[in-house]
Chains A and B, each alone.
Chain A
Amino acid sequence: MPDLLIELFSEEIPARMQARAADDLRKLVTDRLVAAGLVYEGAKAFVTPRRLALTVHGVPARQPDLKEERKGPKVGAPEQAIAGFLRAAGLTSIDQAKVQADKKGDFYVAVTEKKGRAAVDVIAEIVPEVVRGFPWPKSMRWGERSAEAGALNWVRPLHSIVATFGPETEEPEIVRFEVDGIASGNETRGHRFMAPGAIKVKRFDDYVTKLEAAKVVLDPARRADIIRADAKNLAFAQGYELVEDEGLLAEVSGLVEWPVALMGAFEKEFLAIPDEVIRATIRANQKCFVLRDSATAKLVNKFILVANIEASDGGSAIVAGNERVIRARLSDAKFFYDTDLKNWREKSLEERLKKFDQIVFHEKLGTQSERIERIVALAGELAPLVGANAEKAKEAAKFCKADLLSEVVGEFPELQGLMGKYYAEAQGVDEAIAHAIEDHYKPKGPDDLVPADPVSIAVALADKIDTLVGFWAIDEKPTGSKDPYALRRAALGVIRLILDGNIRFHLLHLMTHPLRFSTVHMNIAMQRMLKTLPAEYNPEITERMLRLGAQAEEIGSRLRFKAAAQDDELVVLKSLLAFFADRLKVQLREQGARHDLVDAVFALEGQDDLLLIVRRVEALGKFLDSDDGKNLLAGVKRASNILRIEEKKDKRDYTGAPDTALYQLPEEKALAEAINVAKSEASSAVTKEDFAGAMSAMAKLRPTVDAFFDKVTVNVDDKALRENRLKLLNEIREATRAVADFSKIGG
């Protein structure tokens, strides 16, 4: 069967868009082929900076013929109906229709046969459609045609299109079409500098070979392999080790058609800069790899660049040029680093932190100073709960954002925390504090390490809880895929810190703290702003102040100063707690726990101690795996169902203690007694946080519950008796709430 080859040849496609574009091209073309009845055997797409290519293997030469039947009116139907049917079916006379019979009698059927078209004609329609609708993240118009409406949009100017189709053994034909003045053909070009001439191509294998001869490696994975292998060899030959970097490798592979790895060097004196800063400088600005000494794991004064040409001088001019740029960048970095060190040594922390008074963290959440104050207070409160020294935790919290004012972090935001630690160490601060400065951003993701030092934990928790509460208070929660402040990550961070550190505390209490704090700040901020400048000085500033003031007022009144403030505060916190529950569910599900069990525990009043919740969920899971657990669950569910139905019917609740005098059957009395015993045993076990104990107390209910349902009829005519028995059922439900809300448990 024939193969299809497509190449879209353009000016340089941004590296970050290439992989996705290749994928899109494959999917868009093959989906349309299949929809057109052209089921192919295989397809693969490739991309270089200048071309998107697709090969589809084993495409049928023709579409299958299609037979279509259209049901018409009954035989003998009015003429109008018949005429309408003929028109719709494209027939000229009713004699062309067949007659078929069903229960209701004979009716007409029009059978039309649609001949399959040649695949090459179908493809000639599909490809222009795909090109016109291609989902580039950003696209543009160019040249003379851009003056006209409906001009083609492409990521960068599109120059030519190759489209050939044919079986392996024959000369393939060109799939003829035109997109915005570009006619398809069988001609492409090689490397921009090393083989710029035109190349005629036939099919995929021929295309790949000819491109390779024209200094173009089509497959991005192969380019990456070449770079990786060559870079490692270059490093190895000098006794060094390549610092591998997959993200950089992918980007660099997207910047060259013919990768040539070369090694350059920089002055040894730059090694006084921390390794991370050197790496960030060389990576971000120059897209080069760094090398390390395999024995010490420290960086060496070498780097590897990837050029796009085999230069006529063997690359020495290219290396020299890159070295000059890297030297300039590193001397900038060194200047930044030295300036920071000097500032840290010479100016007191307080003096430097004053700058944060002027820096707004978020319009509605105040300045960085105010934020830091909140984190300090919260870290102080958290410290005893996580076994940290409160003074140290507060000190670390105060320092923790200071490096945001540094030159290096200004240049490379990804080094925040780390630079703070280096500068704090240079200043000679306590080791635990220095570590907390670096680690308070952690864990940054599901695979990041969780800090273990108590001071780090206190600051990490305080930072995240303050952020979460703040954004909840101003109603900037994550929605759908939008989470600009990474609040999901922050919540997951809190959860992991708590679970990994075996930390016990009531989240609600801790969340109330920054909430009050930030609200108060808001009002102070408003007052201060309104006072600072004379109103007539600058109407714009005044207007801004009033606007901010109004916002502050709005939040203030929403949270604190109206009668309903307390309730609203609770709403905010409940919503945040529910968010934690969701995150916890995600986390536990990943570890294999049942999420309905998490719901069953969260449904209980006052569950805001994450560690206890997890222990409860674990105990519940084990219990429900046992026969006792399963049967008890069935019994409780039965009681709940009956209650639900009857409560709905009678439009009332059956809560409250049953009247012991009304018990008639021994099973009723036995159940009531068993409930009392179970309740008190379970509750004392819960108090001791012995959830397994609480579960086994519950398990003792099982025989009496079973016996009750066996022998006792609930819905009797005697109203008082019926009410009492319903109340007894309610007692079962109530008793089990000591461990979980069984109604939330599935199965």
Chain B
Amino acid sequence: MADADLRAAAPVRQANLDPARSFQGLILALQEYWANWGCVILQPYDMEVGAGTFHPATTLRALGPKPWNAAYVQPSRRPKDGRYGENPNRLQHYYQFQVILKPSPPDIQDLYLNSLKAIGIDSALHDIRFVEDDWESPTLGAWGLGWECWCDGMEVSQFTYFQQVAGFECAPVAGELTYGLERLAMYVQGVDRVYDLNFNGRSDAKRVSYGEVFLQAEQEYSRHNFEFADTVMLFEQFKMAEAACQKYLADGWNADRSRHAMALPAYDQCIKASHVFNLLDARGVISVTERQSYILRVRELAKACGEAWLRTEGGGR
């Protein structure tokens, strides 16, 4: 069904938007596919996050009974994964394409496979597999079961049925699909080094590579993340974000704690604390045992935000 719809709806694409030769074409094709299916297409969240899951459109919207279908690109920051631009596929900043479908539709696996078809991965030619990979985010107090999706031996997506988020049972369960865009693009473009990706799909003088867009940033941020990030400031920022989160949470409750009026701003501070922690971790100033306690502190914030969200318009009935 989705297949036929897609064909009917797909406009004739210009060659430079072909997902097999254009990084942005790949993103547009995925957006178009999920928009066609009925997702809300959001833009990236305007804060630093470690993964698309942190976007409130996933973390918070996965909680509560209301149906919710959304898709978006999320720039994801993993300070520790930086390699000064020297590793062919490790980045401290990369793009995830995130799809969240609540409740998980019965044909969600087929929907996913059709999305691969939409970006040119033909299941008659390629070996696509669902390999067990359970997901857990200790900082979000979240877990789910699912798979990593393999295409010819390469992991191209994560597929998770959320069971719990922020310590609360998901009722109903949401299905989450996360496409690692750079990897997927490297695969369909047949490129071994991420910086060689064709970003805009042009083959003429207007061609822009991924490296031209991001290599300098990778070098500068690696330096920053590992060597120069101001740890005194970061420790301070962590404390401030934590305190602000707690304050907004406390202030947002009504008298009998039946409604909450500031779950989203509070959650922003939780995201902030989480990113600051990742930076401190990359700087190597957090010991193994302290690490655990920082993760626990962020989780406490996430849980409290989840609890507040469930008492809002978006999270309640």
| Contact between B172 and A360, CB atoms less than 8 A apart | no
* Complex: A313 Cα to B89 Cα, angstroms: 28
| Contact between A147 and B172, CB atoms less than 8 A apart | yes
The residue that B132 contacts in the complex, of A16, A159, A309, A317, with Cβ under 8 A, is: A16
* Complex: A328 Cα to B153 Cα, angstroms: 12
Which residues on A sit within 8 Å (CB–CB) of B132?
A: 12, 14-16
Give the most central of A16, A142, A317, A320: most B CB within 10 Å: A142
Which residues on A sit within 8 Å (CB–CB) of B131?
A: 12, 15, 255
With A146-B172, A147-B65, A157-B106 known as contacts, the answer to whether A325 contacts B129 (CB < 8 A) is: no
| Contact between A12 and B293, CB atoms less than 8 A apart | no
Q: Which segment of B26-34, B74-82, B143-151, B222-230 sits at the interface?
A: B143-151
* Complex: A354 Cα to B152 Cα, angstroms: 43
* Complex: A317 Cα to B127 Cα, angstroms: 9
The residue that B126 contacts in the complex, of A156, A311, A327, A540, with Cβ under 8 A, is: A311
| Contact between B103 and A146, CB atoms less than 8 A apart | yes
* Complex: A317 Cα to B293 Cα, angstroms: 47
Which residues on A sit within 8 Å (CB–CB) of B253?
A: none
Assess whether B314 is interfacial by the CB under 8 Å rule. Answer: no
Nearest A-chain residue to B105, judged by Cβ:
A143
Which residues on B sit within 8 Å (CB–CB) of A325?
A: 152-154
Residues 278-303 of B at the A interface (beta carbon under 8 Å): 287-290, 293
The residue that B104 contacts in the complex, of A143, A288, A309, with Cβ under 8 A, is: A143
| Contact between A193 and B128, CB atoms less than 8 A apart | yes
Assess whether A44 is interfacial by the CB under 8 Å rule. Answer: no
| Contact between A540 and B163, CB atoms less than 8 A apart | no
Which residues on B sit within 8 Å (CB–CB) of A311?
A: 124-127
| Contact between A307 and B127, CB atoms less than 8 A apart | yes
* Complex: A141 Cα to B163 Cα, angstroms: 7
A316-334 vs B: 1/0 string, CB under 8 Å? 0110111011111001000
How far does the Cβ of A135 sit from chain B's closest Cβ, in whole Å?
16
Which residues on B sit within 8 Å (CB–CB) of A358?
A: 287
Which residues on A sit within 8 Å (CB–CB) of B124?
A: 193, 309, 311-312
Residues 118-145 of B at the A interface (beta carbon under 8 Å): 123-132, 134, 144-145
How far does the Cβ of B111 sit from chain A's closest Cβ, in whole Å?
13
Nearest B-chain residue to A141, judged by Cβ:
B173
Which residues on B sit within 8 Å (CB–CB) of A309?
A: 123-124, 127
Assess whether A140 is interfacial by the CB under 8 Å rule. Answer: yes
How far does the Cβ of B18 sit from chain A's closest Cβ, in whole Å?
18
Give the most central of B123, B132, B175: most A CB within 10 Å: B132
* Complex: A311 Cα to B109 Cα, angstroms: 20
Which residues on B sit within 8 Å (CB–CB) of A331?
A: 88
The residue that A143 contacts in the complex, of B103, B128, B134, B147, with Cβ under 8 A, is: B103
Which residues on A sit within 8 Å (CB–CB) of B129?
A: 12, 255-256, 308
Assess whether B6 is interfacial by the CB under 8 Å rule. Answer: no
8 shortest interchain CB distances as A-B pairs: A321-B152, A14-B132, A147-B172, A12-B130, A322-B153, A146-B173, A307-B127, A140-B145
Could you jot down 11 A-B contacts, CB within 8 Å?
A141-B163, A142-B103, A144-B103, A145-B172, A157-B161, A193-B128, A309-B123, A312-B124, A321-B127, A321-B153, A321-B154
Given contacts A286-B153, A317-B152, A324-B187, 11 further A-B contacts (CB under 8 A): A12-B129, A143-B106, A309-B123, A318-B127, A321-B126, A321-B154, A321-B187, A322-B153, A325-B152, A360-B288, A540-B290
